[in-house]
Amino acid sequence: AQSVTQLGSHVSVSEGALVLLRCNYSSSVPPYLFWYVQYPNQGLQLLLKYTSAATLVKGINGFEAEFKKSETSFHLTKPSAHMSDAAEYFCAASGAGSYQLTFGKGTKLSVIP
Partner 1 sequence: NAGVMQNPRHLVRRRGQEARLRCSPMKGHSHVYWYRQLPEEGLKFMVYLQKENIIDESGMPKERFSAEFPKEGPSILRIQQVVRGDSAAYFCASSPNPGQGSNQPQHFGDGTRLSIL
Binding-site ranges for partner 1 (CB under 8 A): 4, 9, 32, 34, 36, 41-46, 49, 51, 90, 92, 94-106
Q: Pairing mode, if any, of strands 10-14 and 107-112?
A: parallel
Q: How far is it, in rounded angstroms, from Cα 39 to Cα 22? A: 19
Contact assessment for residue 65 and residue 59, using Cβ atoms and an 8 Å cutoff: yes
Q: CB of residue 30 vs partner 1: minimum separation in angstroms?
A: 11
